[in-house]
Structure 1
């Protein structure tokens, strides 16, 4: 037992260190979303070196908390007023997301040998962990669903930073030692915020709870203190999240994609195109700039999109707020929507077979 614990500890520490190392190097080199993409490559590389590597979900929550603390320190009271004005555009975007999921599922069902339930859960562009979990309850092929959503997030996270960097022109993020500095007086505050966040997520668990609670707690504690954001804390969080995503993209994921063939690649491109299309619609419905609109509403992981916003110097607090609303809405609506659409489709398939 002790040997297993020691091996787990060694793999955990070495993996997290590698993610920070590669992420920091890419950040110094001004690679778009360097911390996040560096972590992604670290995760893929580490999995190639050590085939069976499992990182406890605890570290994902810690990473989300680190990013949430940094966002909370940047927040101000006007954010809540901005979010209320975006309720209608967010609702429109959610409707489009669910409709596009239905259409994509029917397409995937027709051009592959997947059953409709599996095709449906592969096609819902949002709330990956919730969709994967729910797919098991409906007896869909969870491995295929997990493969599609892991690939979707990886594909979008790799593509979007470069797309927006190109769209916005050269982004000059000068490297300074301040980017790697945390004042000693901040460590007790960080410790208190992390501890309080974990107390709350244990008592009130729900999707993205670590991100939400850490944002709110750091905002509350910072209201009278007026502390500065901590770029290194957010960077470490981004690197760890990228690394954990990278670890999930293993050989079995590639094998699953190969079985489905070129359709999988076309499908991923379609998901990206739909995400960009929703971002464009959201842009026209709101006063936000295009980059902020896209990162706020594209279904590709709330924390990942916030990480890209941080790199681009956009309003990451607004991106986080909209993404959290999207994620929570998806979480509450998905079970009812799934039950209804699968019931309707089952009737359609039965009628088609009778003809």
Structure 2
């Protein structure tokens, strides 16, 4: 029965996402799924989509990114590594500073405060936080609020300003995926999931699905033009699975932290906007592309937003994956330094 309720929820989320997209709401599929998830989590009931359901949705988005990926991306990436390094250091320092603020402004222990503000992949940070002695429930609540805030603000606020967001062209509305396209997606999703189980690392399934989508469509088979709503379905699923994490217990835990949680989230937003300005100055990219590439809101969520807004999704996904992996490499050293005596 629980599976039936979950499928019903996802169906409603996709219907809302499809409606939003049809009326031209920026990132309509993603926002429709996200808002439906928030509503369900707060007023109806919450579901757990961690594990393979979220990974399958992420792989679906990754394949769409791989299909539109161009071979000169790797040459482009070399031009952005130095600006990315600078902004990555600033993002890490921002997370550390906000963790110190959260530690001083609240009665949270330092471990929990630190993991609440680490700008890494939310799922991975939440998963390992308990191993370091942090309160996983508080960490999950804080990261859920942070990602929900960014995914809501960026498409609504900036997407409206830039006037972008409707993925689906009217001519695509009647297109039906071919048997070849359905088989292509099914094989890559399954292959990416299995490979990620064998060789797992932060953002692994996103990397695998992008790579397989690119290699398969470029060198193996010509799958033709994929209808835009196929990508939209992946975005809607991710939005729904992220949004439903923002349920009543999340609000209760954030309220228990007090006004300090709002201050830290607000500072996170302001610092992220400022760091994006620096990346914009250091590169020829637009400000919106710079923001999507540097904001610490999760590789999956920002890659989906980039696809929805049609703004350099392969570049955005690649830079976020580099960011997440880099953070997890230095995380043990940062934690050891932060946990030293304040003296």
Q: TM-score range by the shorter chain?
A: over 0.9
Q: Does 35-44 or 70-79 show the bigger shift? A: 35-44
User: Match for 1:59 among 32, 50, 53?
Assistant: 53
Match of residue 268 from structure 2 = 271
Is 1:288 the counterpart of 2:296? The answer is no
Partners of 1:171 and 1:61 lie apart in 2 by: 24
User: Match for 2:193 among 193, 198, 208?
Assistant: 198
Q: Is the 8 A contact 2:272 2:296 kept in 1?
A: yes
Unmatched segments (≥5 aa) in structure 1: 1-6
**Map of 1:301-312 to 2, 5 A cutoff?**
301-312=298-309
Match of residue 210 from structure 1 = 205
Q: Is the 8 A contact 2:181 2:226 kept in 1?
A: no
Displacement, 1:150? Answer: 0.4
Change (3 A) 1:180 1:310: farther
Q: Is the 8 A contact 2:46 2:245 kept in 1?
A: no
User: Match for 1:21 among 15, 18, 21?
Assistant: 15
SS of the residue 1:86 aligns to: helix
Match of residue 4 from structure 1 = none
Q: Is the 8 A contact 2:27 2:165 kept in 1?
A: no
SS of the residue 1:126 aligns to: coil
Displacement, 1:307? Answer: 1.8
Cα displacement string for residues 101-153 of structure 1 (whole angstroms, at most 9, x for unaligned residues): 12112212222222222211112223212222332122222211111110000
Q: Is the 8 A contact 1:74 1:229 kept in 2?
A: no
Change (3 A) 1:180 1:24: farther
Displacement, 1:177? Answer: 4.8
Partners of 2:226 and 2:283 lie apart in 1 by: 27
**Map of 1:27-46 to 2, 5 A cutoff?**
27-46=21-40
Match of residue 63 from structure 2 = 69
Displacement, 1:336? Answer: 2.3
Match of residue 184 from structure 2 = 189
SS of the residue 2:339 aligns to: helix
Is 1:85 the counterpart of 2:74? The answer is no
**Map of 1:1-355 to 2, 5 A cutoff?**
7-48=1-42, 50-169=44-163, 175-179=169-173, 181=175, 182-224=177-219, 225-226=221-222, 227-343=224-340, 347-348=341-342, 351=343
Partners of 2:316 and 2:225 lie apart in 1 by: 19
Q: Is the 8 A contact 2:164 2:309 kept in 1?
A: no
Alignment length, in residue pairs?
340
Change (3 A) 1:310 1:249: same
Unmatched segments (≥5 aa) in structure 2: none
Q: Does 54-63 or 289-298 show the bigger shift? A: 54-63
Q: Is the 8 A contact 1:71 1:317 kept in 2?
A: yes
TM, length-normalised to structure 1: 0.90
Change (3 A) 1:209 1:172: closer
Q: Is the 8 A contact 2:168 2:228 kept in 1?
A: no
SS of the residue 1:248 aligns to: coil
SS of the residue 2:285 aligns to: coil
Displacement, 1:186? Answer: 1.2
Partners of 2:164 and 2:49 lie apart in 1 by: 36
Change (3 A) 1:71 1:174: closer
TM, length-normalised to structure 2: 0.93
Change (3 A) 1:118 1:174: closer
Change (3 A) 1:48 1:102: closer
Partners of 2:325 and 2:236 lie apart in 1 by: 24
Measured on the aligned residues, the alpha-carbon RMSD in Å equals: 1.9
- The structure number with the bigger radius of gyration is 1
Partners of 1:205 and 1:11 lie apart in 2 by: 30
